[in-house]
Protein backbone atom coordinates (compact mmCIF):
# COMPACT_ATOMS: atom_id res chain seq x y z
CA UNK A 1 0.00 0.00 0.00
CA UNK A 2 1.42 3.36 -1.00
CA UNK A 3 1.62 5.87 1.83
CA UNK A 4 2.93 9.40 2.09
CA UNK A 5 5.22 10.19 5.03
CA UNK A 6 5.31 13.97 5.38
CA UNK A 7 8.77 15.07 6.52
CA UNK A 8 8.48 18.01 8.89
CA UNK A 9 12.08 19.06 8.24
CA UNK A 10 10.82 21.49 5.60
CA UNK A 11 7.79 22.64 7.61
CA UNK A 12 7.43 25.93 9.45
CA UNK A 13 8.55 24.90 12.94
CA UNK A 14 6.60 27.75 14.51
CA UNK A 15 3.37 26.23 13.16
CA UNK A 16 4.04 22.52 13.19
CA UNK A 17 0.61 21.41 14.42
CA UNK A 18 -1.19 23.37 11.71
CA UNK A 19 1.16 22.21 8.99
CA UNK A 20 0.79 18.57 10.01
CA UNK A 21 -2.97 18.99 10.03
CA UNK A 22 -2.92 20.34 6.46
CA UNK A 23 -0.66 17.54 5.20
CA UNK A 24 -2.95 15.01 6.88
CA UNK A 25 -5.98 16.50 5.16
CA UNK A 26 -4.10 16.09 1.89
CA UNK A 27 -3.65 12.36 2.52
CA UNK A 28 -0.37 11.99 4.43
CA UNK A 29 -0.69 8.97 6.74
CA UNK A 30 2.74 9.03 8.40
CA UNK A 31 4.69 11.89 9.97
CA UNK A 32 8.41 11.56 9.24
CA UNK A 33 10.66 13.16 11.86
CA UNK A 34 14.34 13.74 11.05
CA UNK A 35 16.63 13.53 14.06
CA UNK A 36 20.18 14.83 13.40
CA UNK A 37 23.09 15.09 15.80
CA UNK A 38 25.67 17.23 13.99
CA UNK A 39 28.11 14.27 13.96
CA UNK A 40 26.72 11.57 11.72
CA UNK A 41 25.25 14.28 9.51
CA UNK A 42 26.29 17.93 9.26
CA UNK A 43 23.10 19.40 10.72
CA UNK A 44 21.20 19.59 14.00
CA UNK A 45 17.47 19.19 14.39
CA UNK A 46 15.31 17.99 17.22
CA UNK A 47 15.15 15.51 20.06
CA UNK A 48 12.59 13.74 22.26
CA UNK A 49 10.93 16.90 23.69
CA UNK A 50 9.70 17.92 20.24
CA UNK A 51 8.57 14.37 19.47
CA UNK A 52 6.61 14.47 22.73
CA UNK A 53 4.86 17.67 21.64
CA UNK A 54 4.17 16.27 18.17
CA UNK A 55 2.56 13.24 19.80
CA UNK A 56 -0.13 15.52 21.20
CA UNK A 57 -0.94 17.02 17.81
CA UNK A 58 -1.49 13.89 15.68
CA UNK A 59 -2.62 10.28 15.87
CA UNK A 60 -0.61 9.34 12.78
CA UNK A 61 2.45 7.13 13.26
CA UNK A 62 5.58 9.14 14.10
CA UNK A 63 8.36 7.76 11.92
CA UNK A 64 11.60 8.81 13.64
CA UNK A 65 14.57 8.70 11.26
CA UNK A 66 17.65 8.77 13.49
CA UNK A 67 20.70 10.25 11.84
CA UNK A 68 22.77 10.01 14.98
CA UNK A 69 25.64 8.16 16.56
CA UNK A 70 25.10 6.08 19.72
CA UNK A 71 21.47 5.49 18.86
CA UNK A 72 21.03 2.90 21.65
CA UNK A 73 21.44 5.62 24.27
CA UNK A 74 18.64 7.72 22.84
CA UNK A 75 16.12 5.10 21.73
CA UNK A 76 14.36 4.83 25.13
CA UNK A 77 13.86 8.61 25.16
CA UNK A 78 12.24 8.59 21.72
CA UNK A 79 10.04 5.65 22.69
CA UNK A 80 8.91 7.44 25.82
CA UNK A 81 8.23 10.58 23.80
CA UNK A 82 5.83 8.65 21.57
CA UNK A 83 7.76 7.38 18.52
CA UNK A 84 5.93 4.58 16.69
CA UNK A 85 8.66 3.68 14.22
CA UNK A 86 12.40 4.18 14.72
CA UNK A 87 14.99 3.73 11.99
CA UNK A 88 18.75 3.75 12.35
CA UNK A 89 21.52 4.04 9.77
CA UNK A 90 23.59 0.99 8.92
CA UNK A 91 26.61 3.32 8.59
CA UNK A 92 26.21 4.77 12.09
CA UNK A 93 25.79 1.54 13.98
CA UNK A 94 28.43 -1.12 14.57
CA UNK A 95 25.96 -3.26 16.55
CA UNK A 96 23.03 -3.11 14.21
CA UNK A 97 21.56 -6.43 15.30
CA UNK A 98 21.53 -5.28 18.92
CA UNK A 99 19.98 -1.90 18.09
CA UNK A 100 17.19 -3.34 15.94
CA UNK A 101 16.32 -5.85 18.64
CA UNK A 102 16.39 -3.07 21.21
CA UNK A 103 13.90 -1.02 19.20
CA UNK A 104 11.55 -3.99 18.88
CA UNK A 105 11.87 -4.82 22.56
CA UNK A 106 10.29 -1.44 23.26
CA UNK A 107 7.24 -2.34 21.18
CA UNK A 108 8.25 0.06 18.40
CA UNK A 109 8.69 -0.82 14.71
CA UNK A 110 12.37 -1.06 13.74
CA UNK A 111 13.70 0.16 10.41
CA UNK A 112 17.16 0.28 8.89
CA UNK A 113 18.45 3.05 6.60
CA UNK A 114 21.18 3.12 3.95
CA UNK A 115 22.95 6.13 2.48
CA UNK A 116 23.37 6.55 -1.29
CA UNK A 117 26.93 5.20 -1.02
CA UNK A 118 25.93 1.99 0.76
CA UNK A 119 24.92 -1.12 -1.20
CA UNK A 120 21.80 -3.02 -0.13
CA UNK A 121 23.98 -6.11 0.36
CA UNK A 122 25.20 -4.53 3.61
CA UNK A 123 21.76 -5.30 5.03
CA UNK A 124 21.60 -9.00 4.24
CA UNK A 125 21.99 -10.11 7.88
CA UNK A 126 19.34 -7.76 9.30
CA UNK A 127 16.51 -7.84 6.76
CA UNK A 128 14.64 -10.37 8.88
CA UNK A 129 14.77 -8.05 11.90
CA UNK A 130 13.11 -4.97 10.42
CA UNK A 131 9.62 -3.82 9.55
CA UNK A 132 10.93 -1.41 6.93
CA UNK A 133 14.06 -0.52 4.98
CA UNK A 134 14.67 3.13 4.16
CA UNK A 135 16.68 3.87 1.02
CA UNK A 136 18.15 7.37 1.06
CA UNK A 137 17.92 9.04 -2.33
CA UNK A 138 19.96 12.04 -1.15
CA UNK A 139 22.89 12.26 1.23
CA UNK A 140 21.15 12.85 4.56
CA UNK A 141 21.34 16.13 6.42
CA UNK A 142 19.20 18.58 4.52
CA UNK A 143 15.87 18.92 2.79
CA UNK A 144 15.46 20.16 -0.76
CA UNK A 145 18.31 18.21 -2.38
CA UNK A 146 18.33 16.63 -5.80
CA UNK A 147 17.16 13.02 -6.16
CA UNK A 148 19.99 10.51 -6.76
CA UNK A 149 18.75 7.97 -9.36
CA UNK A 150 21.04 5.19 -8.06
CA UNK A 151 18.38 4.66 -5.38
CA UNK A 152 15.99 3.14 -7.92
CA UNK A 153 17.85 -0.15 -8.59
CA UNK A 154 18.40 -0.44 -4.83
CA UNK A 155 14.66 -0.35 -4.24
CA UNK A 156 14.18 -2.96 -6.95
CA UNK A 157 16.80 -5.23 -5.41
CA UNK A 158 15.22 -4.93 -1.97
CA UNK A 159 11.87 -5.95 -3.44
CA UNK A 160 13.54 -8.99 -5.06
CA UNK A 161 15.28 -10.04 -1.83
CA UNK A 162 12.01 -9.76 -0.01
CA UNK A 163 10.27 -12.05 -2.46
CA UNK A 164 13.17 -14.53 -2.59
CA UNK A 165 13.50 -14.76 1.16
CA UNK A 166 9.80 -14.63 1.99
CA UNK A 167 10.19 -11.52 4.15
CA UNK A 168 7.69 -8.76 4.85
CA UNK A 169 9.55 -5.49 5.30
CA UNK A 170 8.20 -2.41 3.60
CA UNK A 171 10.39 -0.23 1.39
CA UNK A 172 10.64 3.46 2.18
CA UNK A 173 12.44 6.11 0.17
CA UNK A 174 13.60 9.53 1.35
CA UNK A 175 15.10 12.48 -0.47
CA UNK A 176 14.09 14.46 -3.53
CA UNK A 177 10.70 12.79 -3.82
CA UNK A 178 8.36 15.01 -5.84
CA UNK A 179 5.95 14.69 -8.76
CA UNK A 180 8.82 14.19 -11.23
CA UNK A 181 10.57 11.39 -9.31
CA UNK A 182 7.75 9.59 -7.56
CA UNK A 183 6.74 7.53 -10.61
CA UNK A 184 10.10 5.78 -10.98
CA UNK A 185 10.42 4.93 -7.30
CA UNK A 186 6.88 3.57 -7.05
CA UNK A 187 7.38 1.44 -10.16
CA UNK A 188 10.60 0.09 -8.61
CA UNK A 189 8.65 -1.00 -5.53
CA UNK A 190 8.83 1.82 -2.97
CA UNK A 191 5.63 2.20 -0.99
CA UNK A 192 6.47 4.52 1.90
CA UNK A 193 7.23 7.84 0.26
CA UNK A 194 8.95 10.46 2.39
CA UNK A 195 8.57 14.01 1.13
CA UNK A 196 9.62 17.22 2.83
CA UNK A 197 9.98 20.16 0.48
CA UNK A 198 7.41 18.76 -1.97
CA UNK A 199 4.82 18.93 0.83
CA UNK A 200 5.91 21.86 3.01
CA UNK A 201 8.26 23.83 0.75
CA UNK A 202 5.81 26.27 -0.77
CA UNK A 203 2.08 26.55 -1.21
CA UNK A 204 -0.51 24.57 0.71
CA UNK A 205 0.64 21.28 2.28
CA UNK A 206 -2.84 19.84 1.77
CA UNK A 207 -2.82 20.41 -1.99
CA UNK A 208 0.82 19.39 -2.29
CA UNK A 209 0.29 16.12 -0.46
CA UNK A 210 -2.79 15.34 -2.50
CA UNK A 211 -0.99 16.03 -5.77
CA UNK A 212 1.99 13.88 -4.87
CA UNK A 213 -0.16 10.94 -3.78
CA UNK A 214 -2.20 11.21 -6.94
CA UNK A 215 0.98 11.03 -9.05
CA UNK A 216 2.16 8.04 -6.98
CA UNK A 217 -1.09 6.13 -7.40
CA UNK A 218 -1.20 6.82 -11.10
CA UNK A 219 2.32 5.41 -11.53
CA UNK A 220 1.43 2.33 -9.50
CA UNK A 221 -1.59 1.80 -11.73
CA UNK A 222 0.58 2.05 -14.82
CA UNK A 223 3.06 -0.45 -13.41
CA UNK A 224 1.43 -3.58 -14.91
C1 LIG B 1 17.18 14.38 4.72
C2 LIG B 1 15.98 13.88 5.45
C3 LIG B 1 14.72 13.93 4.67
C4 LIG B 1 14.32 15.29 4.18
C5 LIG B 1 13.86 15.08 2.77
O6 LIG B 1 18.31 14.07 5.44
O7 LIG B 1 16.16 12.53 5.86
O8 LIG B 1 13.64 13.31 5.37
O9 LIG B 1 13.30 15.91 4.90
O10 LIG B 1 13.60 16.30 2.21
P11 LIG B 1 13.14 16.46 0.71
O12 LIG B 1 11.85 15.71 0.56
O13 LIG B 1 12.99 17.93 0.57
O14 LIG B 1 14.23 15.90 -0.14
ZN1 LIG C 1 14.40 11.47 6.70
CA distance linking residue 193 with residue 88, whole number of Å: 17
The catalytic residue positions are 34, 174
> Is the pLDDT at 60 greater than 50, yes or no?
yes
pLDDT (tens digit, 9 = 90+) per residue, 75-98? 999 999 999 999 999 999 999 999
Q: What pLDDT sits at residue 222? A: 74
Q: Which structural domain range is residue 173 located in?
A: 3-221
CATH number of residue 133's parent domain: 3.20.20.70
Quick one: which of 77, 151, 75, 156 has its CA closest to 109? 75
Question: If you take atom 7 of ligand 1, which residue's CA is the nearest one?
Answer: 140
Ligand 1: which residues within 6 Å by Cβ? 7, 9-10, 32, 34, 65, 138, 140-141, 143-145, 174-177, 194-198
Number of domains into which the chain is organized = 1
Per-residue pLDDT band at 221 (split at 50, 70, 90) = confident
| CB contact at 8 A, 82 and 33 | no
CA distance linking residue 27 with residue 32, whole number of Å: 14
Amino acid sequence: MIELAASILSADFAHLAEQIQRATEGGATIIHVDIMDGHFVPNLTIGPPVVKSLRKTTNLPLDCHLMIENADEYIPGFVEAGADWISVHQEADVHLNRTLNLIRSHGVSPGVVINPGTPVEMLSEVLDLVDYVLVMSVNPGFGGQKFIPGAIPKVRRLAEYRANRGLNYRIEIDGGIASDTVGDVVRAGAELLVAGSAVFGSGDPKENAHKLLKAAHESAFLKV
